[in-house]
Amino acid sequence: MNSNLKNILSSLPKNEAQNKLLEYMNDTLTPEEKHEVESLMNDDVFMSDALDGLNDLKDKEKIAATIDQLNAGLKKQLQKRKEKKLKRQIPSQTWVYYSIILLLTLIIIAWVIIKKL
């Protein structure tokens, strides 16, 4: 599975953009960089939702830890789904197909031999 699917902030263009989003939230960007982030938020609904979610967090110092925790939980959840999907798959049983073909061939040969007698 694509590793970007397992990252909460993966829809952002680069890791740099993730850092800019966190810096924007902490109000440590220059006005030009703030404008750039705001224009990105206008273009990307997910990014604006991510910022809203980050702003809703009460403990601003633990944002990085919270993001890591969310990513770890997401990876764990996706791994469980993958394992369930693999369990539901029917295993390949090619030997069954070969046995059926062999049995049908033997039946046809026996039928031909009996008809000749």
Q: Which pLDDT value is given to residue 98? A: 92
**Full pLDDT tens readout for the chain, 117 residues:** 455 555 555 555 456 767 777 788 778 888 888 888 888 888 888 878 877 887 787 777 777 787 788 888 989 999 999 998 888 877 778 888 999 999 999 999 999 999 988
User: Helix 15-26 vs helix 63-88: angle between axes, to the nearest 10 degrees?
Assistant: 140
Separation CA 35–CA 37 (nearest Å): 5
pTM: 0.47
Choose among 2, 66, 86: nearest CA to 10.
2
According to DSSP, residue 4 is labeled: G
Q: Supply the DSSP string of 11-72, one letter for each residue.
A: TSSSHHHHHHHHHHHHT-S-HHHHHHHHHHHHH-HHHHHHHHHHHH-S-GGGHHHHHHHHHH
